[in-house]
A and B are shown apart, each in its own frame.
Chain A
Amino acid sequence: MTKPVSPDEGLTPARLAAKYGLSVSGARPSLVEYVRQLWGRRHFILAFSQAKLTAQYSQAKLGQLWQVATPLLNAFVYFAIFGLILNAGRGMSKDVYIPFLVTGVFVFTFTQSSAMAGVRAISGNLGLVRALHFPRASLPVSFALQQLQQLLASMIVLFAVVIGFGSYPSLSWLLVVPALVLQFLFNVGLALIVARMGAKTPDLAQLMPFIMRTWMYASGVMFSIPIMLEDKPAWLADVLQWNPAAVYMDLIRFALIDGYGSENLPPHVWAVAFGWAVVLAVGGFVYFWKAEERYGRG
């Protein structure tokens, strides 16, 4: 090809790019722009989470029934071990302890599975990240949303259990909504944080089950923290009760169970719940965004 004499001759690539208004490919957008892009992808985020949820059970004969059956079986196993064998419900009647335990298991599972899915959100979907353009935060957010839908299915079981043990629907049940909204925000933030860490260090996915199990036992899923730690220093119980998993569990127990009154809640519990949600959601989002252009490197 004979090169025509062009006014662009002799310009450095960077100058040439500037002249025609080309931008660097794969550069990180500003935070505001990023939020805008993410909002633009809301339909994808929702569709992706629903697709994942559907695909999960599509090969099973009972199909979507497992969405409800899995948490029910889970609750039953914990009840058999901690309720019947270990008698962990010291200081609580059966009518309180069983809903207490089932609520704890479901609410904790919500956070747990969001974190577990989050850690693989980027590293487990490299194919997608390397093929298509979208704000990468869509993935962890979508996985957290999938867990929220899973939880809402579990709520049917939970309501049945709670009513079965003599706590009937009342106005206080409405408190479940703000508590779950805050917990969801917290989970999204957590998923974003572990997604970035998991993208850099995929080994974290192997470590995650142990971290989550430790957290579960420390959060009083199957026992009441103040009662179990009566003879230990008071600050220990305070620390455990203020940890986010315990806070969200206690709020939902308080909302649903008649015999679980406000005396079981740590002071300023709503403020703590709100604080955790905002700090994690905002902090996690910014932390994830900071590495946006680096996701997908081998």
Chain B
Amino acid sequence: MAEQQQDQRVPTVIADELHIVYRVNGAKTGKGSATAALSRILKRGEERGVRKVHAVRGVSFTAYRGEAIGLIGSNGSGKSTLLRAIAGLLPAERGKVYTDGQPSLLGVNAALMNDLTGERNVILGGLAMGMSREQIKERYQEIVDFSGINEKGDFITLPMRTYSSGMAARLRFSIAAAKDHDVLMIDEALATGDRKFQTRSEERIRELKKKAGTIFLVSHNNKSIRDTCNRVLWLERGELRMDGPTDEVLKEYEKFTGK
């Protein structure tokens, strides 16, 4: 593990007793019929028909410049939610997140449209991430080459709905990884595409890590955490169960999951 600059540790992300609560409409227990919904409305109560999901419960930590932090935990333990809250995309119920600059989530899927050509999606995705038209023009060829979409013919000028799921995933990753970030968060993005593309994307992640101040990685793949991260946060049921160097935490985690 690389030596950290211990004497000058500059914090980039501080989470202070962070709580995140989702409110879900229409998920109240009981029958889903119209009459049941009506009786719920008629019954007095502050929030009718709304169910709360307390996804993150009082998490505190401080991340420093130059760290690559892995987030582990079983499914539904609040890892992705925590990332979104750090990125400022999900409002906190209680507590605060302080960040240096604008953390960005590596993910652009939602901005892309299946009915448009790959070409237009590259431009649209780039703009959605806040790149300028010039930056996109500059990087365009790089993005297309990296995705390898055109290796089997001129696919970039076809609508994305004609792509195989692997091809679409590769293009999405290529677009998302085209931008440089201060604080970068990656949500299980490594496991896309074929073997060849995975190697290439891991390389790209390491490159991004060099440029980014701090990197967060959510993954269920302990090997990719071990390869990339020097610190690990272990979340369980929305609570921070352990926070420390990769090896220590992973050892405990593997004991916990019975591996």
Residues of A within 8 A of B (CB): 1, 4, 6, 8, 13-14, 16-17, 20-27, 40-41, 43-44, 47-48, 51-52, 54-55, 58-59, 125, 127-134, 202, 293-294, 296-298
Contacts and interface: CB of A to CB of B under 8 A. Distances in A.
Contacts of B87: 25-26, 133
B100 A22 contact: yes
Contact of B98 (A17, A40, A52, A130): A17
B141 to A, nearest CB: 19
Given A131-B109, A133-B87, A43 B132 contact: yes
Given A26-B97, A127-B109, A130-B84, A296 B89 contact: yes
B89 A129 contact: yes
Given A23-B99, A43-B133, A54-B115, 9 more contacts: A13-B15, A13-B96, A23-B98, A26-B88, A44-B128, A128-B111, A131-B110, A133-B87, A298-B53
A293 B90 CA distance: 8
Interface in B20-74: 22-25, 53, 60, 62
B228 interface: no
A131 B62 contact: no
A13 B130 contact: no
B108 A58 contact: no
B103 interface: yes
12 contacts: A14-B16, A22-B99, A24-B97, A41-B130, A44-B127, A58-B115, A132-B108, A132-B128, A133-B88, A133-B102, A296-B89, A298-B22
Contacts of B53: 298
B6 interface: yes
A52 B53 CA distance: 33
B123 to A, nearest CB: 6
B220 interface: no
Contacts of B22: 297-298
Given A129-B89, A131-B89, A48 B128 contact: yes
A129 to B, nearest CB: 7
B99 A55 contact: no
Given A26-B91, A132-B108, A47 B124 contact: yes
Given A4-B7, A43-B132, A296 B98 contact: no
A132 B99 contact: no
A81 B110 CA distance: 42
Contact-residue bracket for chain B: 35 or more
Contacts, number: 144
Contacts of A17: 11, 14, 16, 98
A55 B113 contact: yes
Given A17-B14, A54-B115, A132-B108, A298 B23 contact: yes
B60 A13 contact: yes
Contacts of B11: 8, 16-17, 20, 22
Contacts of B98: 13-14, 16-17, 22-25
B70 to A, nearest CB: 14
B10 A20 contact: yes
> Which among A8, A23, A40, A51 has the highest number of chain B CB atoms within 10 Å?
A51
Given A20-B100, A129-B89, A202 B25 contact: yes
Nearest to B7: A4
B244 interface: yes
Contacts of B245: 1
B6 A4 contact: yes
> Shortest 3 CB-CB distances between A and B: which pairs?
A26-B88, A17-B98, A127-B110
B250 to A, nearest CB: 14
A14 B96 contact: yes
Interface in B124-164: 124, 127-130, 132-133, 159
A21 B105 contact: no
A8 B11 CA distance: 10
Contacts of A202: 25
A130 B124 contact: no
Nearest to A298: B22
Contacts of A40: 130
Contact of B89 (A13, A14, A26, A51): A26
A54 to B, nearest CB: 6
Nearest to B1: A1
Nearest to B121: A51
B91 A51 contact: no
Nearest to B127: A44
B175 to A, nearest CB: 12
A134 B113 CA distance: 18
A44 B132 CA distance: 9
B102 A13 contact: no
B217 interface: no
Given A6-B9, A13-B16, A24-B97, A294 B91 contact: yes
